[in-house]
């Protein structure tokens, strides 16, 4: 499909949970189409991506199929610490500053698209931008291409997140639970599912003044891509499509092929996927897992940038020990401390880590672990998770049920969907401000790890959903899974749109030249162009010695009523007027005039 001459520019937000699926999408598009892909981001994020992308090449001298471009950005210019260009590198209170600072990437992005158009003779096929980069819609319009918004989350969580920020529904009720615009009345949300910044939002706060305009601009893009699967999110996709009123292509899961194919090896997939080294080697984790029976190990991780409070950490550890369940816990300092700082023994029960190591009941991995390898191991039976969408899809793709502990962003909405729509999760608690006790931790762990009753039902449903996820990206016997079909339809739609725009450009030029050849009098105005304007372009389309279009010609064409000009698209007079159609086709590009989507 398509050809390698096509070019797509991708703009992820500066967060690990966004960059990872963007890179996976870039790889998938290139694999299926051969298109050139450019990922643009801030310098430090591009630097981190370089080693990951380099692994895509067959040899050190080979050129990567994905081009990485660093856009000018200095965090210190925006009141951020030097060298901090991602959410993972910032404390929670400074993340909103990074969001606002990200809007300054619009100007360098516009220059990047213009440079590509100058070099290749036409703008990229499209921009694929993060939903948080709504400004890319304006960039696309100015540079003569289209913007497609990409939600790296699932459909249900995305729809809830967008509607929450656009409508702030909790401000219009005194009840703790409320309806959310776009969702069925029976699907009520609770105030505790909102992050404290959203609970406090009133439309004038720093969070609202970023999210509301950026989401509104994304709703004006050409369409949306969603990291979802049709078969597992029917309600979420229905809600999202009705809410955004745009085409939505469900092209998930954006996971490494090796973990979706049981016969493939998944060695070192996590480090290749995330572009970082784990706190414990994959080999060490897998050797430890090999010591335990099938489905007996509980995996605990709260994502790449989250942690819990000191009191929650203490009670979680006590409950784990009392449950008697074997576990791998990705652990970092609690809220209020440097997440990359040294871990203190005082945050856990006295002698806890030593007892777990000695008994081989627990493996504590500091900072980051090879998550994909752990979840795909036969010994892993359940996952205590923050319900971030990447982690959720990794877990469900392996048939591993979830114990939810949502902390931020759309995670609480994901957790709600996993419980109410899928039946693959039970929620332990929410946020970092809640109180938990070891008895509840023990009860929930035992409930989920027990393969009888509720735990058995969750496991069965998780396995079924895992098969649906894998089937969505399977291609065999002439049949394509739903996500592969969606991807192909997305690409076909873009190519068709490009052809339509090319035809419309021909139509614009045709009318212009018909008017020129008709010796229109200077006083007459056709489609906002005078006869003098039309005559200014004539030397550029008349053989045998055509000239470059003059500034007057290009200026006149840029102010023309293009839909009006297109109404003459069926004219066949060009050859009879001595006008070279090839020269006519070149005129708009020579004038560097962007072409609206509908003419």
Q: CATH number of the domain that 240 lies in?
A: 3.40.50.2000
In a domain, 216, yes or no: no
Domain presence at residue 56: yes
Per-residue pLDDT band at 591 (split at 50, 70, 90): confident
Least confident of 78-87, 403-412, 575-584: 575-584
CB 182 within 8 A of CB 159: yes
Report the distance separating Cα 168 and Cα 523, nearest Å: 56
The residue with greater pLDDT, 261 or 273, is 261
CATH number at residue 516: 1.10.110.10
Q: Stretch 2-8: mean pLDDT, rounded?
A: 73
**176 within a domain of the structure (yes/no):** no
Could you tell me if 326 and 361 are in contact, meaning their C-beta atoms sit under 8 angstroms apart?
A: yes
* Domain assignment present for 183: no
The answer, yes or no, to whether the previous bond of 253 is cis (omega within 30 of 0) is: yes
Instruction: Calculate mean pLDDT across residues 430-434.
Output: 93
Note whether 30 and 122 are same-domain residues.
yes
Distance from C-alpha of 298 to C-alpha of 444, rounded to nearest angstrom: 12
Task: Provide the pLDDT confidence category of residue 563 given band limits of 50, 70 and 90.
Answer: low
Percent of the chain surpassing pLDDT 90: 69
Query: Is the pLDDT score of 508 beyond 80?
Result: no
Residue 586 lies in a domain: yes
Asked if the model's pLDDT at residue 1 lies above 70, the reply is no
Same domain? 526 vs 563: yes
User: How much is the pLDDT for 541?
Assistant: 80
pTM score, two decimals?
A: 0.83
Residue 572 has pLDDT above 60, yes or no: no
Q: Report pLDDT digits (tens) over 114-127.
A: 999 999 988 999 99
Average pLDDT over residues 248-267: 80
Q: Do 541 and 413 fall within a single domain?
A: no
In terms of domains, do 248 and 343 share one?
Answer: no
> Helix axis angle, 310-323 relative to 438-449, nearest 10°?
50
Sign of CA dihedral 266, 268, 271, 273: negative
303-341 tens-digit pLDDT: 888 899 999 999 999 999 999 999 999 999 999 888 888
Residue 109 is predicted with a pLDDT of: 97
pLDDT at 542: 82
Same-domain status, 330 and 404? yes
Which SS3 state, helix, strand or coil, does residue 469 take? helix
| 359 and 427 belong to one structural domain | yes
Q: What is the largest CA-CA distance in the chain?
A: 96
Kindly compute the dihedral angle of the four CA atoms of residues 541, 543, 545, 546, in this order, to the nearest 10 degrees: 10
Among residues 24, 21, 26, 31, the alpha carbon closest in space to that of 9 is found at: 26
Q: Say whether both 358 and 290 belong to one domain.
A: yes
Asked if residue 551 and residue 441 are part of one domain, the reply reads no
d(CA 348, CA 337): 15
Assess contact for 456 and 86: CB atoms under 8 A.
Answer: no
Q: Domain check: are 349 and 230 in the same one? A: no
Domain count along the chain? 3
What does the alpha-carbon distance between residue 385 and residue 404 come to, in Å, rounded to a whole number?
Answer: 5
Same-domain pairing of 522 and 489: no
The answer to whether residues 136 and 21 touch, using CB atoms and an 8 Å cutoff, is: no
pLDDT of 524 > 60? The answer is: no
Does the residue 277 lie in any domain?
yes
Residues 453 and 549 in one domain: no
Q: Is residue 211 in a domain? A: no
Residues 247 and 274 reside in one and the same domain? no
Q: Is residue 192 part of a domain?
A: no
Q: Are strands 66-70 and 36-41 parallel, antiparallel or unpaired?
A: parallel
User: How would you classify the pairing of strands 326-331 and 66-70?
Assistant: unpaired
The whole domain housing 543 covers 504-591
């Amino acid at each position: 499909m398509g050809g390698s001459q096509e070019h797509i520019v991708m703009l992820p937000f500066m967060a690990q949970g966004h960059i990872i699926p963007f890179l996976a999408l870039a790889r998938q598009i290139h694999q299926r189409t051969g298109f050139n892909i450019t990922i643009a981001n801030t310098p430090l994020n591009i630097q981190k991506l370089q080693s990951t992308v380099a692994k895509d090449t067959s040899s050190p001298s080979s050129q990567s199929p994905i081009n990485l471009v660093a856009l000018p950005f200095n965090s210190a210019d925006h009141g951020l610490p030097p060298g901090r260009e991602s959410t993972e590198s910032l404390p929670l209170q400074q993340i909103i500053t990074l969001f606002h600072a990200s809007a300054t990437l619009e100007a360098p992005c516009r220059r990047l698209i213009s440079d590509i158009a100058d070099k290749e003779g036409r703008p990229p096929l499209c921009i694929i931008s993060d939903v948080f980069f709504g400004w890319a819609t304006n960039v696309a319009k100015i540079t003569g291409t289209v913007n497609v918004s990409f939600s790296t989350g699932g459909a249900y969580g995305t729809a809830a997140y967008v509607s929450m920020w656009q409508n702030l529904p909790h401000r219009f009720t005194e009840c703790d639970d409320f309806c959310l615009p776009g969702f069925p009345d029976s699907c009520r949300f609770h105030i505790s599912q909102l992050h404290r910044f959203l609970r406090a939002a009133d439309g004038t706060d720093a969070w609202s003044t970023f999210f509301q305009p950026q989401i509104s601009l994304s709703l004006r893009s050409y369409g949306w891509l969603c990291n979802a699967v049709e078969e597992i999110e029917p309600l979420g996709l229905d809600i999202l499509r009705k809410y955004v009123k745009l085409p939505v292509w469900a092209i998930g899961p954006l996971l490494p092929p090796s973990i979706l194919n049981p016969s493939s090896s998944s060695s070192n997939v996590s480090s290749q996927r995330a572009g970082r080294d784990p706190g414990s080697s994959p080999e060490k984790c897998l050797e430890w897992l090999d010591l335990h029976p099938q489905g007996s190990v509980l995996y605990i991780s709260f994502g790449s940038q989250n942690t819990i409070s000191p009191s929650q950490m203490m009670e979680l550890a006590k409950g784990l020990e009392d449950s008697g369940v074997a576990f791998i816990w990705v652990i970092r300092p609690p809220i209020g401390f440097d997440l990359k700082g040294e871990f203190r023994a005082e945050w856990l029960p006295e002698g806890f880590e030593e007892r777990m190591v000695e008994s081989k009941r627990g493996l504590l991995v500091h900072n980051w672990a090879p998550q994909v390898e752990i979840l795909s191991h036969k010994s892993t039976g359940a996952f205590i998770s923050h319900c971030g969408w990447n982690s959720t899809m990794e877990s469900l793709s392996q048939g591993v049920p979830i114990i939810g502990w949502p902390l931020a962003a759309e995670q609480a909405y994901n957790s709600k969907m996993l419980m109410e729509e899928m039946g693959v999760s039970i929620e332990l608690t929410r946020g970092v401000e809640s109180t938990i006790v070891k008895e509840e931790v023990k009860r929930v762990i035992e409930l989920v790890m027990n393969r009888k009753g509720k735990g058995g039902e969750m496991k069965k449903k998780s396995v079924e959903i895992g098969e649906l996820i894998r089937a969505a990206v399977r291609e065999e016997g002439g049949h394509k899974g739903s996500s592969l079909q969606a991807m192909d339809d997305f690409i076909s739609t873009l190519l068709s749109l490009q052809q339509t725009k090319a035809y419309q450009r021909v139509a614009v030029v045709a009318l212009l030249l018909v008017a020129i050849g008709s010796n229109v009098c200077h006083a007459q105005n056709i489609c906002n162009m005078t006869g003098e304007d039309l005559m200014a372009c004539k030397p550029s389309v008349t053989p045998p010695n055509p000239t470059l279009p003059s500034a007057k010609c290009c200026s006149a064409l840029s102010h023309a009523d293009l839909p009006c000009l297109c109404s003459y698209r069926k004219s066949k007079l060009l050859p009879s007027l001595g006008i070279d159609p090839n020269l006519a086709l070149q005129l708009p590009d020579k004038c560097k005039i962007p072409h609206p989507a509908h003419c």
